[in-house]
Amino acid sequence: MYFLRSSPLWKQPHLLDKIDQTIRHTLTSILNVALDDRAWLQATLPIRFGGLGIRKITSVSLPAFLSSVRSTQQLTSGILTQSLVDCEVPCLTDALSAWKLACPDEALPENPSSQRQWDEPLCRLVRNNLINTSTNTAERARLLAVGEWESGLWLQTLPSPNIGTMLSDTTFRIATCLRLGAPSGAPHRCQCGEVVDRLGHHGLSCSRSAGRIARHASINDIIRRALVTAGVPAVLEPNGLARDDGKRPDGMTIMPWKLGRPLVWDATCVDTLAPSHVLSTAGCAGAAAASAENLKRRKYNNLIGSYMFEPFGVETLGPWGPSAHRVVRDISKQLVDSSRDQRAGLYFCQRISIAIQRGNAASVLGTFPIDIDVDEFFDAQ
């Protein structure tokens, strides 16, 4: 970082490429994931842009140099003698020209000392190019989904087995494959009889999905425990709230939540890349979760008025529906108020993200012609 910030290494791409290739080989070896050029390019984006946050040296060299020069400009002027005050840092003009050439429609950063503000337009261009050059709707839907804030929370979680946030090696590898569109296994036939390609997406929407029930139970338990921690007792599958077909919502608070009415929620996790959803999710991230929430709201229409009913819709690749965002925001505020920990809401969100990834891993592995113990993915909680 010292040399990137203090020297024009961005003008030596042939040297930086060697370092990038070493990073790529190391990442492939650690994850045991075959990364083609597009997957590698996505992996090098920040997490907020759908990547893994493993940055390419060739990508950060120019923003690092520009931010360093700008942040030290006043100090440099103060050190130099009066006759050299107007002396410009070598290669600064070339660096600005290179940045403007890469981002012709972007204005200069408001805070030129911030490396992130120099870097963000470049990252946005890479991500937009990946989306615009997608070869099919499934790839476009995946890129849009993983670019949502909530989709990358599992990558930002402190991996601790003591608090149940440690993902197993297999779960982490499969989660990475699904995020990057990399092969998760060899083509094979699912136990339901369908052919599974090397990406393994069939398991996420299979009618015999191994992780669906465990993931559903885990998400509801996380919501209930968060409510209890926030001082709002809640129960799962409350009696007396059954629909005409006998099905009950997933949970209800014992105490009033808002306007003197208890909160009733019903969670669902839909597959972003399922044939029935992929056209909508390729147009808008989170469209499948929003649609599932609307369906839940219609099913439990009889509860509206007496209860605060909120469907909690999430997708396999991470996005949440509008109602889920609303519930998480309200519970997070209660958690912060009760615990005085400003990060309490973030921890709650991260647990939901981890539960989704564990369910995905169980679903993908459930297509293999072997017996998979689904509970082992959720035992650490």
Q: List, for residues 329-354, the tens digit of each pLDDT value.
A: 999 999 999 999 999 999 999 999 99
Q: Where are the domains of the chain?
A: 2-133, 137-381
- The answer on pLDDT for 301 being more than 90 is no
Alpha-carbon span 323 to 9, nearest angstrom? 47
Q: What is the pLDDT of residue 337?
A: 94
Return mean pLDDT, the chain. Answer: 90
How much of the chain is helix, strand and coil, in % rounded to 5?
Answer: 55, 10, 35
Instruction: Match 């429609």 to its residue by tokens.
Output: 105
- pLDDT tier at 357 (50, 70, 90 boundaries)? very high
Please write the tens of the pLDDT for every residue from 41-79. Answer: 999 999 999 999 999 999 999 999 999 988 887 777 777
Beta bridge partners of 269: 314
> How far is the C-alpha of 170 from the C-alpha of 257, rounded, in Å?
39
Q: Are 139 and 146 in contact (CB under 8 A)?
A: no
Which helix or strand (DSSP H or E) is residue 334 part of?
helix 322-339
Residue 369 has pLDDT above 80, yes or no: no
pLDDT at 374 over 60: no
pLDDT for res 216: 93
Q: What is the pLDDT of residue 351?
A: 96
Helix runs in the chain, H state only: 2-6, 13-31, 37-43, 57-71, 73-79, 92-102, 115-132, 137-146, 169-180, 202-205, 212-229, 278-281, 287-299, 322-339, 344-365
Predicted confidence band at 191 (pLDDT cuts at 50, 70, 90)? confident
Residue 287: CB partners within 8 Å, gap ≥ 6?
277, 280, 281
Question: What pLDDT is recorded for position 78?
Answer: 72
Q: Residue 346 has what pLDDT?
A: 96
Residue 371 pLDDT > 90? no
Residue 242 has a pLDDT of 61
Average pLDDT over residues 28-45: 95
Nearest to 43 by CA among 102, 169, 130, 119: 130
pLDDT of amino acid 76: 72
Measure the N-to-C terminal CA separation of the chain; round to a whole number of Å.
38
376: nearest Cα among 366, 201, 368: 366
How much of the chain, in percent, has pLDDT values that exceed 90? 72
pLDDT digits (tens, 9 = 90+) for 212-242: 899 999 999 999 999 999 999 999 988 777 6
The pLDDT value recorded for residue 87 is 63
Q: Read off the pLDDT of each residue in 70-90 and give the average, rounded to a whole number.
A: 70
Which alpha helices (DSSP H) does 161-201 contain, by range? 169-180
Residue 323 CA from chain centroid, whole number: 18
